[in-house]
Amino acid sequence: MKEYPYLPNVPDKIKRMMLDEIGVNSIEQLYSDIPADILLRRNLNLPESKSESEVYRETVRILRKNRALDYSKIFVGAGVWPHLIPSIVGVLLSRGEFLTAYTP
C-alpha cells in the first residue's frame, strides 16, 4: 500500500483505503468502545475556517489589546523575534526526499 501523510481532509478514496488497512468499516467503528452516553451527538459551534495568514492577523489583533513585549524595550531572548513559519514547512521537512546528509 502506498504511504500517505495523515491529513484530516483527504479524499474519500484514501480514507476508505486507510479503514480497509486497519480492518474497520467506518470511522465511527473506531469509537465503538466509548460509552454512548459520553459521546457528543451534536455539531460543534465553530466559526468558519480561515487561512493561516488570516488566523495570524486575527491573533495579532487580539493580542495587541494587551501590553506585550512588542511595545517594550526588552533584551531577553537574545535575538528571538516574532515570525511566522507557514505550516507547509513542517510538512516539507517530514518528507525524506527533501533531506540529505548536508541539508537536514
**pLDDT string in tens for the chain (104-residue length):** 556 555 667 788 888 998 999 999 998 898 889 998 998 888 899 888 898 889 999 988 988 887 655 555 656 655 566 677 788 888 877 777 776 666 55
Helix (H, G, I), strand (E, B) or coil at 10: coil
Grid coordinates of 12: 474519500
**Could you tell me the residue range of the domain that residue 53 belongs to?**
12-98
In a domain, 4, yes or no: no
In a domain, 29, yes or no: yes
Alpha helices in 1-104 (DSSP H): 12-22, 52-63, 88-93
**Are 7 and 18 a contacting pair, CB within 8 Å?**
no
Exposure string of 3-13, with b = 16+ CB inside 10 Å and e = fewer, is: eeeeeeeeeee
**Are 84 and 56 a contacting pair, CB within 8 Å?**
yes
The total number of structural domains in the chain stands at 1
In a domain, 5, yes or no: no
